[in-house]
């Protein structure tokens, strides 16, 4: 016992479109957020570094002047100098300034700013800064990472004194982090909005596709009448047009198949009945048996001709039914004249031959004209005149066969070109299946031409085909 084949769940195209769009937007927004974050951090670092450099330069300028900005008197004591400079400073948020004087027994520290912890009590912090070989650096503190710069007072006989300016980088970066958070919230809202818009737009775009799918599901071999409404000129409209064209071809193919089966059943039923009846009634007399065999053979030959004609009409629906190429109209007409003369004891007259080159399927054209000639033979007496000819006028090529038979009433001109259609006038030979003129019409229409008849009862008939001489004339 075979195991059941697992059914794969299909993801709707609408969901896939929305997923791809949202995925792309997530990637783009993620890249934007990361870029903004990196640029914000770089901007913070640049502002911190510029602030440190500016404070160091301002302190150097203050030391060079060496005067109290309030009294103008000169200051030589490092402690007073540091205090005077710090009194003029107004640190920003996350910014601190400190003056450090290293005494033999202790460290005098003055801090300006609002640090997150008591920096004056943290001598170890300032010891690390003072002992550092560089004038700039980063160090960890109880308030987070602090970026600092120091400047030492120089002079004879003074205690080691330093001006320290610093920024708490984490606090400076919090503003950038807030910007990124806002950007993330806006991006999230944008993604939700984009998802809704994508869902609606994808639904509208795919609506014709769903219509095509529903139409395909409703189509059966018995009903190919459903068509897709075509709106606009976009790719979806082109898809609907192609789908409708495919349905037209399928409808035509099924109609051809049904017509072939109906015609075959209609026409083959009579000869089969005749053969079956004769065989059932056949006796033991040799002469009777020979007559039955002859009759059955005739009916089988007629069945073979009917099947061949029906197959030819079925092939006429195919695009490769005719194979056009350039031929000489004069030579084609001459060949056709030579072939039709063997059809019967008639007075054949070639009354006209067109001159020039035409682009047709010479085999199909010959078949059509020979069929018209055969039709003329069936409707005339031995020795009667039958005229054939061709002409090339204004980009159209015509072939005709004229007889002196009983003619065709005007009301039957269209009927006789239908399958199994026969004129009501007298006919010498009624053995045909009534498919000859239908074949002529099929060949003419395959060339994008027409088949026609000109006749009055009792005055003969002229049958012909009129075709484009070139494919450009179609």
CATH 3.30.565.10 assigned to domain 325-473? The reply is yes
What is the domain partition of the chain in residue ranges? 15-176, 235-315, 325-473
Angstrom distance (rounded) from CA 51 to CA 61: 15
Angstrom distance (rounded) from CA 397 to CA 469: 5
pLDDT surpasses 90 at 320:
no
Comparing 116 with 217, which gets the higher pLDDT? 116
User: Beta strand 325-328 with 357-360: parallel, antiparallel or unpaired?
Assistant: antiparallel
Comparing 453 with 472, which gets the higher pLDDT? 453
Q: What is the mean pLDDT of residues 208-217?
A: 74
Question: Which region among 75-84, 281-290, 328-337 has the lowest average model confidence (pLDDT)?
Answer: 281-290
Q: What is the mean pLDDT of residues 190-213?
A: 84
Residue 164's pLDDT band (boundaries 50, 70, 90)? very high
The answer to whether the beta carbons of residues 409 and 423 sit under 8 Å apart is yes
Q: How many Cα neighbours within 13 Å face the side chain of 445?
A: 12
**Per-residue model confidence (pLDDT) at position 270:** 59
pLDDT surpasses 50 at 32:
yes
Residue 424's pLDDT band (boundaries 50, 70, 90)? low
CATH class assigned to 15-176 = alpha beta
Instruction: Kindly report, residue by residue over 267-314, the tens digit of the pLDDT.
Output: 566 567 767 776 777 777 787 778 778 877 877 776 776 677 667 776
pTM attached to this predicted model: 0.48
How many other C-beta atoms lie within 10 A of the C-beta of residue 465? 24
Q: How many Cα neighbours within 13 Å face the side chain of 256?
A: 16
Listed in order, strand segments (DSSP E) in 154-243 are: 161-168
pLDDT surpasses 50 at 50:
yes
pLDDT surpasses 70 at 3:
no
H-type helices in 355-413, by residue range?
Answer: 362-378
What architecture does CATH give domain 235-315? Answer: Orthogonal Bundle (1.10)
Q: Could you please report the per-residue DSSP string of 223-258?
A: B--------SSSHHHHHHHHHHHHHHHHHHHHHHHH
pLDDT surpasses 50 at 430:
no
């Amino acid at each position: 016992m075979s195991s059941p084949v697992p059914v794969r769940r299909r993801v709707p195209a609408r969901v896939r479109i929305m997923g791809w769009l949202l995925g792309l937007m997530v990637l783009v927004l993620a890249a934007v957020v990361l870029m903004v974050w990196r640029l914000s951090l770089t901007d913070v670092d640049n502002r911190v570094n510029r602030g440190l450099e500016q404070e160091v330069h301002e302190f150097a300028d203050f030391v060079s002047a060496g005067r109290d900005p309030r009294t103008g008197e000169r200051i030589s004591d490092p402690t007073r100098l540091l205090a005077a400079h710090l009194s003029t400073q107004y640190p920003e948020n996350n910014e601190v300034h400190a003056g450090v004087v290293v005494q033999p027994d202790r460290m005098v520290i003055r801090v300006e700013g609002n640090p997150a912890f008591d920096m004056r009590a943290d001598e170890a912090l300032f010891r690390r800064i003072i002992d550092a070989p560089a004038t700039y650096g980063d160090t960890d503190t109880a308030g987070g990472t602090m970026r600092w710069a120091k400047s030492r007072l120089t002079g004879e006989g003074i205690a080691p004194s330093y001006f320290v300016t610093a920024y708490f980088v984490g606090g400076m970066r919090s503003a950038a982090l807030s910007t990124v958070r806002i950007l993330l919230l806006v991006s999230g809202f944008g993604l939700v909005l984009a998802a809704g818009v994508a869902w609606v737009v994808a639904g509208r775009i795919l609506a014709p596709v769903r219509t095509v799918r529903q139409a395909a599901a409703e189509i059966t071999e018995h009903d190919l009448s459903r068509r897709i409404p075509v709106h606009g000129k976009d790719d979806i409209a082109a898809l609907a047009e192609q789908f409708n064209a495919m349905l037209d071809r399928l409808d035509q193919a099924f109609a051809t198949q049904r017509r072939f089966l109906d015609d075959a059943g209609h026409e083959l039923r009579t000869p089969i009945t005749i053969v079956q009846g004769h065989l059932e009634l056949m006796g033991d007399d040799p002469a009777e048996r020979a007559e039955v065999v002859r009759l059955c053979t005739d009916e089988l030959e007629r069945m073979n001709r009917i099947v061949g004609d029906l197959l030819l009409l079925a092939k006429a629906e195919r695009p490769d039914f005719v194979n056009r190429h350039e031929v000489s109209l004069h030579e084609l007409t001459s060949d056709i004249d030579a072939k039709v003369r063997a059809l019967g004891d008639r007075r054949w007259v070639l009354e006209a031959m067109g001159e020039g080159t035409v682009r047709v399927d010479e085999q199909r054209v010959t078949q059509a004209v020979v069929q018209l000639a055969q039709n003329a033979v069936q409707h005339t007496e031995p020795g009667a005149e039958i005229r054939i000819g061709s002409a090339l006028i204004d980009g159209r090529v015509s072939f005709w066969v004229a007889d002196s038979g009983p003619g065709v009433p005007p009301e039957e001109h269209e009927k006789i070109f239908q399958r199994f259609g026969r004129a009501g006038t007298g006919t010498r030979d009624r053995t045909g299946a009534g498919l000859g003129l239908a074949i002529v019409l099929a060949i003419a229409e395959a060339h994008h031409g027409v088949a026609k008849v000109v006749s009055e009862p009792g005055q003969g008939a002229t049958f012909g085909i009129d075709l484009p001489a070139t494919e450009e004339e179609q």
